[in-house]
Amino acid sequence: MSESTVVTEAGIQPVENDPTGMVGREQAVEPVVPKPELKFEYQPTDEHGRPLGGKQVIKYTDPSELPGLLVRQNEQILRQLRKVTRERELGPETDSDDAEKFQNVPEFKPRDLSADERLQLSQQLLDPEKAAEARDLLVESAFGAKPDVVAKTLNETNRFMVQQRAVDNYVEFVSMTPGYYDSPANRAALTGWMSKRNWAATVSNFNRAYQHLVDQVGLLESAPEVHQAQPIVPAAVVPQTSVEPVEIPEPKPQVPAAPAPGLGPQVEPQQVKRHSHVPSSLNSSVASVAGDIPVDVNKLTVADLDRMPSDVLKRRLNSDPAFRKAADAAYAAQEARIRARQTP
């Protein structure tokens, strides 16, 4: 039996049954060998085989890292290419801090001129050098404001009408184009592309810009995919063990109470059925076909249609011709009122 020693807090102690003699000795640690660096090189070329730029070098240590590095490099190239294409088609994106401040809306009303002002106006109209001052005084007396204020107000009103007409045309374009995804990025792309070419904001121009940006350039975003939720699978029904039937005794018939003497003939009591009463103001002239919402087709408004649930409205439009005709008339009347207010 071999015996060795080991150093402990109590001193040197003998260790029995140690044939290797490694007890108490410090074991050697193997050094970590670094992995060699690998390289993947390629030279981009054009359609004629001529080099484009310098040689591309991708360094890695594990072969499993190479596909991820190639995907990341390809994504950066596509992002830069898309940025250059957007700037070429829409112009560079610039941020401006110059914002127009809201001012009080001027009120125009005629102003009566004094006797001295009327005399001065008549004299200045005959003087070529003071004709401009007379003109300004005459405009101010007619509108009650300086000529520059009148001109500025008219310009702002005209610009607002143009912008409002552009918004209405865009809304109509969106409703007529089901394949278009109305997002802030797509809206900026359409309007920026049209503004760069000085195109009017009409429905036809919106369609032309949409076809160009989708088919030829591919700058418009697609609608996000909506993933349907997985149906809930009901839990497995555990079969119940057989239970012995329990005999339920039949209820005893209720014996009518005897009437008090001298109060008249005996009358057999009857069970009174109670019915739940729900107050309602519906009648045959206003009740809907589906029985969901009271609607009078002769006085149908867009507000009534908006209050109806979508499934009820769809069912009424498909099943009731009179209701569909009244709904079309209500929408047409609302559109006519909107256009009448927008007409200068």
8 Å CB contact between 136 and 146: yes
d(CA 192, CA 210) in angstroms, rounded, equals 12
User: Would the CA dihedral through 271, 276, 282, 285 be positive or negative?
Assistant: negative
- Residue owning tokens 């969106």: 174
d(CA 118, CA 136) in angstroms, rounded, equals 13
d(CA 52, CA 42) in angstroms, rounded, equals 11
Amino acid residing at 99: A
Listed in order, strand segments (DSSP E) in the chain are 3-8, 11-16, 38-42, 56-60
**pLDDT computed for residue 253 by the predictor:** 54
Q: Answer yes or no: pTM beyond 0.75.
A: no
- Name the token pair of 99: 């914002």
**pLDDT computed for residue 170 by the predictor:** 92
- Name the token pair of 176: 């007529």
Say whether 6 sits in a helix, a strand or coil: strand
CA 2 to chain centroid: 83
**pLDDT computed for residue 138 by the predictor:** 84
Q: Which residues contact 144 (CB under 8 A, 6 or more apart)?
A: 107, 108, 109, 110, 111
d(CA 203, CA 175) in angstroms, rounded, equals 11
d(CA 331, CA 323) in angstroms, rounded, equals 12
Inter-axis angle of helices 203-211 and 184-196, to 10 degrees?
A: 100
Q: What are phi and psi of 232, to 5 degrees?
A: -80, 120
Q: What residue segments make up the domains of the chain, in order of their start?
A: 38-44+53-90, 109-145, 146-220, 297-342
Write the secondary structure of 64-76 as one string of H (helix), E (strand) and C (coil). HHHHHHHHHHHHH
Reference 193, options 177, 175, 217; nearest CA is 217
What is the residue-level pLDDT of the chain in tens, covering all 344 positions?
445 555 555 555 555 555 555 555 555 667 777 888 888 888 888 888 888 888 888 888 888 888 988 898 889 888 888 888 888 877 766 655 666 666 677 778 888 888 888 888 888 888 888 888 888 888 888 887 888 888 888 888 888 888 888 999 999 999 988 888 888 888 888 898 898 889 998 999 999 998 888 877 677 888 887 666 566 655 555 455 554 555 555 555 555 555 444 444 444 444 444 444 333 333 433 344 444 555 677 778 888 888 888 888 888 888 888 888 888 888 888 888 888 887 76
**pLDDT computed for residue 279 by the predictor:** 39
Q: What is the DSSP letter of 292?
A: S
Rounded CA Rg of the chain: 45
User: Would the CA dihedral through 158, 161, 165, 170 be positive or negative?
Assistant: positive
- Residue owning tokens 């006085």: 299
- Residue owning tokens 């070098």: 57
